[in-house]
Amino acid sequence: MTTLTNAVVLVTGANGGLGVHFVEQALARGAAKVYATARTPRTWEDPRVTPLRLDVTDPASIAEVLAQTGDTTVLINNAGIEIFGRLIDTTPEALRGIYETNVFGPIALVQAYAPTLAGHGGGAIINVHSALSWFSIPGAYSSTKSAFWGATNSLRIELAGQGTHVLGAHLGYTDTPMIEHVDAPKGDPADVVANIYAALEAGEHEALADETARGAHASLSAPIAERYAALGFPV
């Protein structure tokens, strides 16, 4: 079980819809400090928030931020991007770009911060996945979330010995700028983040942060054709 009381939290993608709530709700739950990182960091009025520039795809940027944040006890891998169009039509360059941000960058951050967390008694990591970790749609995004989910499951086992709690967070469409173009019901990012933090503090390994994530998880044992036919996708 991980408490946020007096925690020092580092949030990637802190400017976005979920990121802002990760910052604000960590403080509301008693965090002593939050490092709010982004490629172009914004200003924050709360003196407990330290904005830092971080490009999760750049090893030098990760090293620079790590050198300034050695007191971190909770790492939140929230940064992510989406590209649009069919996977089969996506250029190799664009495909590598989304995997660098959504998969390889977060793994690199875990590798970088694991010794720091161990030095503080273990700490915790939240990796933000998606209901699309378990249900793919056309395009590259869902495949990156499946890959990241698989990596989280391995990292959880590898870091258990040092006492680091690894939480995988799954959610459906949420009302954030990244998916403002999507014409579908969307959850409230404040509720999603509250559910993720509640799962962390309860010691859970996965946070099913909304009804969509719970439904996707529950359907995993159903036949592929049945699962995809329910949403009108041919297989």
The CATH number given to whatever domain includes residue 20 is: 3.40.50.720
* Residue 184 dihedral angles phi and psi, to the nearest 5°: -160, 160
**What dihedral do alpha carbons 128, 133, 135, 138 form, nearest 10°?**
90
pLDDT at 179 over 90: no
Domain membership flag for residue 164 = yes
H helical segments located in 45-188: 59-68, 92-99, 105-119, 141-160
Domain membership flag for residue 195 = yes
* pLDDT tens readout for residues 121-174: 999 999 999 999 998 889 999 999 999 999 999 999 999 999 999 999 999 866
Domain membership flag for residue 234 = no
Residue 178 pLDDT: 55
What percent of the chain is modeled with pLDDT above 90? 80
Per-residue pLDDT band for 1 (boundaries 50, 70, 90) equals: low
Q: Note down the domain range covering 22.
A: 8-229
The answer to whether the beta carbons of residues 177 and 16 sit under 8 Å apart is yes
Q: Of 9, 30, 149, whose CA–CA distance to 76 is shortest?
A: 9
Domain membership flag for residue 99 = yes
Q: What is the largest CA-CA distance in the chain?
A: 52
pLDDT at 61 over 70: yes
**Residue 151: Cβ within 10 Å count:** 18
Residue 176 pLDDT: 56
Q: 219: which residues sit within 8 A by CB, 6+ positions away?
A: 134, 135, 227, 230
Domain membership flag for residue 1 = no
Domain membership flag for residue 188 = yes
The answer to whether the beta carbons of residues 37 and 209 sit under 8 Å apart is no
Per-residue pLDDT band for 108 (boundaries 50, 70, 90) equals: very high
Domain membership flag for residue 3 = no
pTM recorded for the entire structure: 0.93
Residue 65 pLDDT: 98
Domain membership flag for residue 109 = yes
Residue 235 pLDDT: 66
Burial 154-166 (b: 16+ CB within 10 A, else e): ebbeebeeeebbb
Count of residues for the chain? 235
Q: What is the DSSP string of 53-68?
A: E--TT-HHHHHHHHHH
Residue numbers annotated as active site = 141
pLDDT at 231 over 90: no
Residue 16 pLDDT: 82
Q: How far is it, in rounded angstroms, from Cα 100 to Cα 96? A: 6
| Domain total of the chain | 1
